């Protein structure tokens, strides 16, 4: 799964208190710091390293069991006090009351903190200061335990892809298409098998890509219809674990039946570029060096990148991205980047896309260690594995 | 699935231009208006009813095929112009350039618009005005087509629950627990079966609840371990369709083996309260009337609500919530509410929770029509169906 566009810088210098108002379910920063999942928003405040959450009655019991915070307070007491004083018992008023009690007049908030809450706090005399970059910088640096959770997801991804590879091995080629059990083997069928296999392992996969031939020239196209023989089939799989909430991300490009020399060369150009980038991955290097290595490798091999007939061809996405509680997170691995550190988990996923020929992408996930990088991906990428007779 | 806490009001009067910067994947308002899903943020602007999106090169091709908007512009041209003028090619600067070209100096943004973007726009002389309430009010009013998509999800939910009900029918009771195939039938196994059945229908279910006995006293507890016989088992299932992105939401409380008179009475108290609320559902009524009917019904039947030994018991959540592209959306059905209109899809889900006894919740989904309400839920709730011998 290719990386995000460039991010924006926030503003201001940071107050020491931190505030998040969000659902544990949808806010990875909040979940990272509290390990407490909720479908609905709750309030998180950190003051001098001490963490407090304000939750409604419905969540108090579960919060006591699950939330890794120093203090759990029910919103009810403030609701009652506000109602008595004739002010609305809104989230903003509850948070403002709490912060006033603790003598806090400005708070750091995430870049994506809702502007509606921010305006409400300002009106109550509390200054919200959006932080640029990571709200909890440690989130980008995975512990060994977090790396194990990611690897656990990756094992499921690989087991699922083996099931599809085995079906391709047992299928046959007719009129340029792949047939399994006498009927065309489709993208939809392949994705359904991948998803079912992953679900058995508690992995939730959305937007899995199985795109063959021309479809793969658009790197985000998920693929549909009968899968072509002889042409590259891009399989990009990036589920999250329902319990740990961590993602993994892998792409393999498979072929069924005899393959032309040109397609074989395209595959090897991508593999060679990827291996050059992977060889550079270690703490202390700027991640953009990996991207530059890929770009250089494609240029040297004569693979053109740019507009052709109004459409981009060649290599026109970033080389990779961080993976963790989000499928795309820090650090970026592209034209811009940052210095790799022990604990970073990044993908390395160069690709080449040529309308008329098809697309190839190969993606591994690396864990940056004190001394180098561990490849968390073990699915082979040699020609003998991916070119299925 | 129970409703959200009370929401906050936004501020200000609304400029006619509307702006969203978000990922199609995670922002239901954006997806509602464009029907274009992306993993990464893109820019949406509506000026005088005309819609424009600004997307990066990676998404242009797919946007042309899928996005239901009037204009699709690549961000590249502004990126180049900004770079030439020495300003960062940030999203905020691109949006500001676009708005300046169109002579727009203030924009309505959603309540949850990122404060970091809002501050950046302000610094560029564009005034963002957060809207309170619904950004696209029509989103709460489902067309007949949207109601069909929701019903399609609901059919899958019911088929999945029938599979579990059949297993309960074929299972036996030993030492107060349910056994299937000679081993204890667990919450985990039941949830796994539900999820697999739904996946076959392209339904993604998270946080499915199968909670028996004491566990169900916490309405959000998902449940774990061997399921008890004789006691209520709350099954709350609320998946979304991977393609249409619409949710459905149903709760049934099942029993296995002989049930005490007290538990049977508890079940019927909830069913009676639910039926009273459903009977009120029609356009023109305030949704809080449904909630009041439930509260009154429980009070009349002598079922106490309040704190006991520091813990809430009785009925302590809202009666329902809207369902659509989010599992919890407008309108609210609780202590506060709003006037029901044709097109609203709401849940009606009273429950009673008594530590020491267990919890019962029954939830249907209604489609408000011109003349009344259609029940989109067809899974029976009579005692003969839910009390499985």
DSSP state for residue B321 in the 8-state scheme: E
pLDDT above 90 as % of chain B: 86
Output the pLDDT for position B5.
Answer: 41
| Residue range(s) occupied by CATH 3.90.230.10 in chain A | 140-388
The 3-class SS string of A32-78 reads HHHCCCCCCEEEEEEECCEEEEEECHHHHHHHHHHCCCCEEEECHHH
Output the pLDDT for position B12.
Answer: 45
Number of Cβ pairs < 8 A linking chain A and chain B: 162
Output the pLDDT for position B15.
Answer: 80
pLDDT above 70 as % of chain B: 96
CATH class of B141-388: alpha beta
pLDDT band at B163 (very low <50, low <70, confident <90, very high): very high
- Tell me the average pLDDT across B364-389: 97
The Cα–Cα gap between B325 and B140 comes to 10
Q: Which of B126, B9, B21, B30 is nearest to A112 (CA)?
A: B21
Would you say how long chain A is, in residues? 389
Output the pLDDT for position A258.
Answer: 97
The Cα–Cα gap between B199 and B379 comes to 19
Please say if the pLDDT value at position B215 is more than 60.
Answer: yes
Residues of B in Cβ contact (< 8 Å) with A90: 6-9
Please say if the pLDDT value at position B354 is more than 60.
Answer: yes
What residues have CB less than 8 Å from B246, skipping those under 6 apart? Answer: B146, B149, B150, B153, B240, B324, B325
Residues B17, B45 contacting (CB under 8 angstroms): yes
The Cα–Cα gap between B13 and B18 comes to 12
Please say if the pLDDT value at position B6 is more than 50.
Answer: no
pLDDT band at B320 (very low <50, low <70, confident <90, very high): very high
pLDDT tens for each residue of B65-75: 999 999 999 99
A8–chain B Cβ distance below 8 A for any pair: yes
Q: Which residue in A2, A5, A242 has the most chain B C-beta atoms within 10 A of its own C-beta, making it the best mutation to test that interface?
A: A5
- Tell me the average pLDDT across A88-111: 95
Stated pTM of the model? 0.84
Please say if the pLDDT value at position A303 is more than 90.
Answer: yes
Which of A61-65, B130-134, B270-274 has maximum average pLDDT? B270-274
Please say if the pLDDT value at position A10 is more than 90.
Answer: no
Output the pLDDT for position A240.
Answer: 96
The Cα–Cα gap between A155 and B84 comes to 46
- Tell me the average pLDDT across A229-241: 97
Cis peptide before B331 (omega within 30 of 0): yes
pLDDT tens for each residue of A266-286: 999 999 999 999 999 999 999
pLDDT band at A249 (very low <50, low <70, confident <90, very high): very high
Largest CA distance in chain B: 79
Task: List the structure tokens of B155.
Answer: 């059919």
A134–chain B Cβ distance below 8 A for any pair: no
- Tell me the average pLDDT across B267-291: 98
Please say if the pLDDT value at position A1 is more than 70.
Answer: no
Are residues B114 and A111, on separate chains, in Cβ contact within 8 Å? yes
Q: Which residue has the tokens 């109601």?
A: B147
Residues A236, A361 contacting (CB under 8 angstroms): yes
pLDDT band at B2 (very low <50, low <70, confident <90, very high): low
Residues B42, B73 contacting (CB under 8 angstroms): no
DSSP state for residue A302 in the 8-state scheme: T
What residues have CB less than 8 Å from A351, skipping those under 6 apart? Answer: A2, A219, A234, A251, A270, A315, A317, A359, A360, A361, A362
pLDDT band at A39 (very low <50, low <70, confident <90, very high): confident
| Helix-, strand-, coil-residue percentages of chain A, each rounded to 5 | 35, 30, 40
Residues B256, B226 contacting (CB under 8 angstroms): no
Output the pLDDT for position B309.
Answer: 86
Cis peptide before B63 (omega within 30 of 0): no
User: Taken in order B211, B246, A217, A3, is the CA torsion positive or negative?
Assistant: negative
Question: How far are the Cα atoms of A29, A217, A250, B215 from residue A347, in angstroms, in the given order?
Answer: 20, 20, 8, 41
Burial class (CB in 10 A: 0-12, 13-18, 19+), A258: exposed
- Tell me the average pLDDT across A247-254: 98
Half-sphere exposure of A123 (CA within 13 A, CB side): 12
pLDDT band at B77 (very low <50, low <70, confident <90, very high): confident
DSSP state for residue B140 in the 8-state scheme: G
Are residues A111 and B115, on separate chains, in Cβ contact within 8 Å? yes
Q: CATH assignment of A18-135?
A: 3.40.350.10
Residue with the bigger pLDDT between A307 and A247: it is: A247
Helix (H) or strand (E) holding A322: strand A320-322
Option in A119, A128, A317 nearest B58 (CB): A317
- Tell me the average pLDDT across B193-202: 92
3-state secondary structure at position A221? coil
Please say if the pLDDT value at position A244 is more than 90.
Answer: yes
pLDDT band at A368 (very low <50, low <70, confident <90, very high): very high
pLDDT band at B168 (very low <50, low <70, confident <90, very high): very high
Option in A7, A40, A199 nearest B4 (CB): A40
Output the pLDDT for position B58.
Answer: 81
B335–chain A Cβ distance below 8 A for any pair: no
Please say if the pLDDT value at position B7 is more than 70.
Answer: no
Burial A276-309 (b: 16+ CB within 10 A, else e): bbbebbebeebbbbbbbbbbebbeeeebeeeeee
What residues have CB less than 8 Å from A257, skipping those under 6 apart? Answer: A173, A178, A229, A230, A388, A389
Q: Which fold has domain A140-388?
A: Creatine Amidinohydrolase (3.90.230)
Please say if the pLDDT value at position A44 is more than 50.
Answer: yes
Average pLDDT, chain A: 94
A199–chain B Cβ distance below 8 A for any pair: yes
Output the pLDDT for position A2.
Answer: 60
Output the pLDDT for position B206.
Answer: 87
pLDDT tens for each residue of B9-36: 444 457 889 999 999 988 999 999 999 9
| Residue range(s) occupied by CATH 3.90.230.10 in chain B | 141-388
| Residue range(s) occupied by CATH 3.40.350.10 in chain B | 18-135
Please say if the pLDDT value at position B146 is more than 90.
Answer: yes
């Amino acid at each position: 799964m290719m990386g995000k566009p460039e991010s924006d810088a926030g503003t201001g210098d940071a107050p020491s208190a931190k505030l998040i108002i969000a659902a544990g379910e949808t806010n990875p920063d909040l979940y990272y710091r509290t390990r407490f999942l909720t479908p609905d928003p709750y309030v998180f405040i950190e003051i001098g390293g001490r963490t407090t959450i304000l939750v409604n009655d419905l969540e108090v019991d579960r919060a006591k069991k699950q939330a890794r915070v120093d203090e759990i307070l029910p919103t009810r007491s403030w609701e009652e006090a506000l109602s008595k004083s004739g002010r609305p018992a809104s989230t903003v008023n509850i948070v403002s009351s709490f912060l006033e009690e603790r003598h806090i007049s400005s708070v750091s908030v995430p870049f994506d903190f809702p502007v509606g809450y921010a305006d409400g706090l300002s009106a109550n005399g509390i200054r919200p200061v959006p932080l640029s970059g990571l709200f909890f910088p440690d989130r980008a640096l995975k512990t060994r335990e977090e790396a194990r959770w990611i690897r656990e997801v990756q094992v499921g991804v690989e087991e699922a892809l083996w099931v599809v590879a085995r079906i391709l091995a047992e299928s046959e080629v007719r009129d340029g298409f792949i047939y399994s059990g006498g009927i065309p083997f489709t993208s939809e069928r392949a994705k359904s098998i991948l998803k079912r296999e992953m679900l058995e392992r508690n992995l939730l996969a959305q937007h899995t890509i199985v795109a063959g031939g021309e479809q793969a020239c658009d790197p985000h196209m998920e693929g549909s219809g009968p899968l072509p023989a002889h042409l590259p089939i891009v399989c990009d799989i990036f589920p999250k674990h329902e319990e740990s909430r961590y993602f993994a991300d892998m792409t393999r490009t498979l072929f069924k039946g005899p393959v032309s020399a040109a397609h074989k060369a395209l595959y090897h150009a991508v593999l060679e570029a990827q291996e050059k980038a992977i060889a550079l991955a270690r703490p202390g290097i700027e991640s953009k060096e990996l991207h530059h290595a890929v770009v250089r490798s494609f240029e040297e091999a004569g693979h053109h990148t740019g507009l052709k007939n109004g459409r981009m061809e060649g290599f026109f996405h970033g080389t990779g991205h961080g993976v963790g509680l989000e499928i795309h997170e820090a650090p970026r691995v592209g034209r811009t980047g940052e210095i790799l550190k022990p604990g970073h988990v990044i993908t390395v996923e160069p690709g080449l896309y040529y309308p008329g020929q098809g697309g190839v992408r190969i993606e591994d996930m690396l864990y940056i260690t004190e001394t180098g990088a561990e490849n968390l991906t073990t699915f082979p990428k040699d020609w003998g594995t991916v070119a299925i007779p």
